Structure 1
Amino acid sequence: MFASYLIGLREGLEATLVVSVLVAFLVKSDRKDRLPQVWAGVGAAVALSVGFGALLTFTAAHLNHGQQEMFDAVTSLLATVFVTWMIFWMRRAARSLSGELRAKLTDAIQMGTIAVVVMAFLAVAREGLETALLFFASVQGATTSSSPLIGISLGILTSIALGWGLYRSALRVNLTKFFTWTGLLLILVAAGIFKYGVHDLQEANILPGLSNYAFDISSVMPADSWYGTLMSGMFNITPQPSVLETAAWVLYAVPTLFFFLRPQRKRPAAAPPVSVTDPRPAA
């Protein structure tokens, strides 16, 4: 549930901030008549994301064992690529995100109603599709279907509450620290997803060594214990991983954490603090 909550919170807040920038810009520029068009685009993006998640679930449920293992492996590897790109993209582009969105919305307004709807749709759809793919990949092998759904729902609701609080100036959040800490946790989640993708490839007999275990800590961390379930659910750390699974986890997590934690180049001027009118996170 925690991994799903983290996905919903992180991705949901990114989408919420995008919507907040668009809404605040229209309100400040006295163009409230365009708000229904923005909400139409946002609603279409949400519907597409839910439909994409349902399609992934439906497809996986109608495959045989070998095909399902391959499908799960491909979605896991794609999710790892997308979440890694998203984490580093947000860190690099956060400072200019608000200005770029306002510029695109201004151009869309000049082009007409459909352009505004499409612009809002595209701005939110990317986050929604990433959320659906990442959520699907993260819950593979879950013992229950209700806990991940509850987790991601709570995460999205929390992100909406945070976004609303930022928009109404009722809340002040250090978004730099927020995206840094959630980025770190998501890297560990992504490492587990990558490890699970390798496991699925072994299950599908694409990769060898399924029974060649790197270590066995089942006596210390039983799979049916609460802490074993916690570590497996959050980061896909299992008591009996294969050598290839362990190597995949390490080869992804170590260099990714290194580049993520490496200090960025100093910029000439500090970014302004996050506000209602400019709810963008500092990089």
Structure 2
Amino acid sequence: MFSNYLIGLREGLEAALVVTILVAYLVKTGRRELVPRIWAGVGVAVAVSLAFGAALTYGPRGLSFEAQELIGGSLSIVAVGFVTWMIFWMARAARSISGELRGQIDAAAEGSRWSLVVVAMLAVGREGLETALFLWAATQAGTREAVGSITPTWQPLLGAGLGLLTAVVVGVLLYHGAVRINLTAFFTYTGGFLIIVAAGVLAYGVHDLQEAGVLPGLGNLAFDVSDTIEPTSWYGTVLKGVFNFSPATTWLEAAAWVLYAVPVMTLFVLGVRRRKAASAPAAAPVSAR
């Protein structure tokens, strides 16, 4: 549930920041009459995201088990790709997102009346579609049957909903200047955590493809610690809900987890260090005597 809360918070905060910047810039530049177009674009983006989430949830139910597993595994891998791109993009763009959006809104304000609607819809819709896809994948991973029990689907959805609600509150406070947060630090720490979450979703996607018969090795377990970490226990539930940890993991699942988490985390940490070094003030030159 916590991982889904973090997904909702992070994606929701990105969308809230976009809306806050767009609305605040229009108000400060004396174009308050254009603000309803921003909200119209946000409304369209939310509606499309909800429809996309509903299609993901209810669309595959009439298919065979193998087809459901094939779709689920494929979409889980696609979701990991999207969230990985989002993690690296936001880590780079946290400092410059305000300037980029102001340039877009100036150009849109001078265009047709629908231009601002499209700008807001695309800016918020991208976050909404990514959220719907990744939450669906994480929810599917969290509800995998284990020792005859299934984790209720409302728990990850509740976590995501609370995260989105928190993001809305933070966005309102940011707009009114009540809070100041270090966006670079926020997206750095949450990005590192979400890499681990994404690795678990990827491993789950591989398991789905194994059950669909697309990938081999379903019965070849790398480890089985079900006797030590019972899936129905509170700590097993926590590990499953936060990290998508499976007590019985195949070799292919384990390999997918390692081959994703290690290089992606390494590149992420190196990128963070490189940006910190680039933003640090240059050392004063030593004068020769």
1:198 aligns with 2:209: no
Q: 2:194 aligns with which of 173, 186, 193?
A: 186
Give the structure-1-normalised TM-score: 0.92
- CA positional deviation for 1:167: 1.5
Give the 3 Å change call, closer, same or farther, for CA 168–15 of structure 1 in structure 2: same
Summarize the alignment of residues 130-149 of structure 1 with structure 2, pairs less than 5 Å apart: 130-141=130-141, 142=143, 143-149=151-157
Provide Cα deviations, 1:139-189, integer angstroms capped at 9, x if missing partner. 104221211111111000001111111121111222222111111111111
In 2, Cα distance between equivalents of 1:181 and 1:61: 36
* 2:95 aligned counterpart, secondary structure: helix
Contact 2:94–2:184 (CA under 8 A) maintained in structure 1: no
For 1:196 and 1:269, locate their aligned partners in 2 and report how far apart those are by CA, in whole Å.
Answer: 40
Aligned to 2:56: 56
Distance (Å, rounded) in 1 between the aligned partners of 2:5 and 2:96 = 27
> 2:110 aligns to what SS in structure 1?
helix
Q: Which amino acid aligns with 2:47?
A: A
Mind listing any 5+ residue stretches in structure 1 that lack a counterpart?
A: 271-283
Give SS of 1:205's match. Answer: coil
Q: CA RMSD in A?
A: 1.3
Instruction: State how far apart, in whole Å, the 1-side matches of 2:194 and 2:60 are.
Output: 24
Aligned counterpart for 1:156 among listed residues 151, 161, 164 = 164
Out of 269, 274, 278, the residue aligned to residue 264 of structure 1 is 274
Give the unaligned 5+ runs of structure 2.
144-150, 282-289
**TM-superposed deviation, 1:269:** 7.2
Q: Which one-letter code corresponds to 1:170 in the other structure?
A: A
Out of 219, 224, 229, the residue aligned to residue 216 of structure 1 is: 224
* Matching residue of 2:286: none
**Structure 1 residue 120: Cα displacement:** 1.0
More divergent stretch after superposition (158-167 vs 195-204): 158-167
Report the equivalent of 1:233. 241
Per the TM alignment, residue 62 of structure 1 is displaced from its structure 2 partner at its CA by 2.1
Query: Residue 174 of structure 1 aligns to which amino acid in structure 2?
Result: N
Q: Please point out which of 238, 243, 250 is paired with 1:242.
A: 250
CA distance in 1, matches of 2:183, 2:63: 42
Residues 269 and 107 of structure 1: CA distance in aligned 2, closer, same or farther (over 3 Å)? farther
2:66 paired with 1:66: yes
Q: Give CA-to-partner distance per residue, 1:201-247, whole Å, 9 cap, x none.
A: 11011111111110122222111111111111111111110011011
Give the Cα–Cα distance (whole angstroms) in 1 for the partners of residues 153 and 225 of structure 2: 27
Distance across 1 between alignment mates of 2:191 and 2:37: 32
Counterpart residue number, 1:91: 91
How far is the alpha carbon of 1:13 from its aligned partner? 0.2
Tell me the distance in 2 between the aligned counterparts of 1:38 and 1:174: 25
Pairwise mapping of residues 16-31 of structure 1 onto structure 2 (< 5 A)? 16-31=16-31
Q: Give runs of aligned pairs for residues 8-23 of structure 1, distance below 5 A.
A: 8-23=8-23
Overall identity of the aligned pairs, in %: 54
Instruction: Give the match's secondary structure for 1:49.
Output: helix
Shift of 1:95: 2.1
